[in-house]
A and B are shown apart, each in its own frame.
With several copies, the nearest count.
Chain A
Amino acid sequence: MFRKILIANRGEIAVRVIRACRDMGIRPVAVYSEADRAARHVRFADEAYRIGGAAAADSYLRIDRVLAAAKRCGAEAIHPGYGFLSENADFAAACQQAGLRFIGPPADAIRSMGVKTQARKIMAAAGVPVVPGTPAAAGDLAQAAQYAERVGYPVMLKAAAGGGGMGMRQVEDDSGLASAWEQARGEALKAFGDDSIYIEKAIVRPRHVEVQILADHHGRVVHLGERECSLQRRRQKVLEETPSPWIEEHPRVRERLCAAAVAAAKAAGYANAGTVEFLLDQRGRFYFLEMNTRLQVEHPVTELVTGTDLVKEQILVAAGRKLQLRQEDIRFRGHAMQCRVYAEDPRAGFLPSPGRIDRLTLPEGPGIRVDCGAEEGWSVPLEYDPLIAKLCAWGQTRTEVIARLQRALSEFRVGGIATTLDLFRQILADRRFQRAEFDTGFLEREFAMRPPDPSGPPAEVRLAAMLAVIRASQAERQTASGPPDRKRSLWNARGRLAAAGFMKSQL
């Protein structure tokens, strides 16, 4: 087994991998950009090396510097997390050339699944259903228009090299094609260094379901059930759960879906953890969307219902071990759901809200798991994905999970920046969500943040605020008039106003 692993990532996923390393007795090594010196993943690691400036292109995307840091500290393997270099086949190959184990699939599998047009071909050949679309990337806007006419509007524009919703745009009719084309190419170039865009028929009101796969280098492939990720905004997942409420009522679809995912992994020559994403239409037909050749942001929900540790499995597979899990050993218990807590303001169009976190209280208690990449006093940098924490709950039923998440959200507190916590409070209270009546367009099409009550808070709440302010201003006056001496202040140690008797006994 490896003794030292370098984690070529940051934020909550770097913390997640560090934890798995500790659980296995492996020494975790972090890398950091100039903007991340004070970040949590640096503090949690045994060692940490600076690999460049704040821009990802100057640090977390620099293959040469990541490899140099790994060599320098004597790491035997590199975990790429998600994003950054995780689906970069050249990086996987470079690791191998440098004598380092890449904790992920073979470079060839990344490459073939990474080019979406090629992935479609492989899947179609393996008998996995694919969305009707163009066989290759469109060369220019004119060709894109041609392709779009051929598959028929509405269509999806997708980055051929992409994943995770970056560089994706749905186009309703030909009038919207030009601006969507430009935006998708811009994002694709930024995110993947490749602006090839291909075109698929848009499935109307689909659900997003995906199957978690584990494969070893000895030919064994197992699935760990599906996840449903239909709650999305700008094609980015917002809330994920397992099992899929729709599939839970259609167990035969699950059988076929999971079998298709295993077939897909085999066709891709896959090893390590991966996810096969599908669109599920209103009639229960599913279509291969893409294969993510890495750990997913939403992997914890699968861990919660199966009792597995996917990062540990990834490391074991990368070390050449045979999978100990057989398909029949994988048991599913209960339900799990994840809320992605972003430093974004849901009341201001989800604009990023970087800044200093001046208060951070995480929820705990039965059924709650938190994976947090942030710390109190730390400033969320502008340069990266603004995911600061993942809040997960497990429960025996979906209803119990929703109740536990609502409870956890009532305890969760982030001060100093805007977050999506309020969004989740409102989603979880929504009847349609509770009945699982949604598709990938639900959030953007039907869900709106409730505006604050224009009449303001009720009288009792106003009174409570006034009482707190009176108390605060009394403390202010004391501070202003001399050195602070809590013990001798008007307020005694137990919070009772000694002089005026304001806090006197209630019974």
Chain B
Amino acid sequence: MTDHHLLVDGEPENVRLEDGACEFGGETRVASVSDLGRGDYSVLVGGRQHLVHVRRRGLGRFEALVGGELLRIDRIDPRSLDSTPARARSSPARRVKAPMPGKVLAVRVAEGDEVSRNDPLAIVEAMKMQNELRAPEAGQVAQVQVQPGDSVSAGQTLVVIE
């Protein structure tokens, strides 16, 4: 019998494993895990099949992809319960970033402009398609960090709105 302490998306959870079964949330269920290789695990819980893909984020820190959902799961060492704190989720940013690498074709705003939600800010071209980037909310343009012709990488900030 072993107890395992985990943080699942920041919430502490406890699973007890024992003799082909697991106890979780007050219920005991038959369980079986099979390592299919390359991060894939077939997990049977009470006979029901779940394919889980596990990636390591760091020592004792993982993310699990199951049924199209991504869960961040960290192991907690019971001897140092506060050693692996859950990270706060990032707050919605007002930075408008290039969603993929590409080339800036046009910039539609200048610093100081007032913009409404969905107003066009810039056009970035990648893979033959022109992608119009729009304001995520109303505000004032605080910074324009690119100009037409610039090559941008994914995640690079193009425009900052306040």
Q: Using CB atoms and an 8 Å cutoff, list the residues of chain A in contact with chain B.
A: 29, 37-38, 42-43, 45-50, 72-73, 166, 179, 183, 186-187, 190-191, 234, 345, 348-349, 351-354, 359, 375-378, 382-386, 415, 422, 452, 456-457, 459-473, 475-476, 480, 491, 495, 500-506
Contacts and interface: CB of A to CB of B under 8 A. Distances in A.
Contacts of B66: 457, 461, 464-465, 468
Contact of B52 (A354, A376, A465, A476): A465
A461 B69 contact: yes
B68 interface: yes
A234 B2 contact: no
Interface stretch (B35-43, B85-93, B109-117, B137-145): B35-43
B105 A467 contact: no
B13 A466 contact: yes
Contacts of B42: 37-38, 42-43
B41 A472 contact: yes
Given A470-B17, A476-B56, A384 B128 contact: yes
A352 B127 contact: yes
Nearest to A83: B128
B129 interface: yes
A47 B41 contact: no
A457 to B, nearest CB: 5
Interface residues of B, number: 66
B4 A470 contact: yes
Contacts of B123: 183
B20 A506 contact: yes
Contacts of B146: none
Given A467-B15, A471-B41, A473-B60, A462 B35 contact: no
Interface string B45-88: 11111111110100110101011110101010000000000000
Given A46-B49, A464-B43, A469-B62, A187 B130 contact: yes
Contacts of A468: 33, 41, 43, 52, 54, 64, 66
B45 A467 contact: yes
Contacts of B51: 43
B20 A501 contact: yes
A469 B54 contact: yes
Nearest to A182: B106
Given A50-B32, A465-B71, A503-B32, A460 B127 contact: no
Given A43-B51, A461-B67, A472-B54, A386 B127 contact: yes
B100 A352 contact: yes
A467 B127 contact: no
Contacts of A49: 47
Contact of A491 (B35, B48, B64): B35
A377 B34 CA distance: 12
B99 interface: yes
Contacts of A50: 32
Contacts of A472: 39, 41, 54, 56, 62
B22 A463 contact: yes
A467 B22 contact: yes
Contacts of A475: 35
Nearest to A421: B68
B33 to A, nearest CB: 5
A506 B32 CA distance: 9
Contacts of B62: 469, 472-473
B48 A46 contact: yes
Find the residue from A190, A469, A476 having the highest chain B CB count within 10 A. A469
Given A472-B56, A472-B62, 15 more contacts: A46-B49, A354-B126, A382-B100, A456-B71, A459-B25, A465-B8, A465-B50, A465-B66, A468-B33, A470-B33, A471-B33, A475-B35, A495-B33, A501-B20, A506-B32
Contacts of A37: 32, 34, 42
B160 interface: no
A47 B49 CA distance: 5
5 contacts: A47-B49, A377-B37, A465-B66, A502-B20, A506-B30
Interface in B21-35: 22, 24-25, 29-35
B60 to A, nearest CB: 6
B21 to A, nearest CB: 8
B58 to A, nearest CB: 10
Nearest to A480: B59
Given A46-B49, A467-B15, A462 B54 contact: no
List of 7 A-B pairs having minimum Cβ-Cβ separation, nearest first: A464-B50, A377-B37, A468-B52, A504-B20, A468-B41, A465-B64, A464-B43
A467 B33 contact: yes
Given A166-B128, A456-B69, A468-B64, A502 B37 contact: no
Contacts of B18: 500-502
B127 A382 contact: yes
Contacts of A38: 34-36, 42
B45 A352 contact: no
Nearest to A49: B47
Contact of A457 (B34, B38, B69, B131): B69
A470 B60 CA distance: 9
B32 A465 contact: no
Contacts of A359: 38
B20 A47 contact: no
A386 B128 CA distance: 9
A317 to B, nearest CB: 28
A186 B129 CA distance: 11
Nearest to B41: A468
A186 B130 contact: yes
B129 to A, nearest CB: 7
B15 A383 contact: no
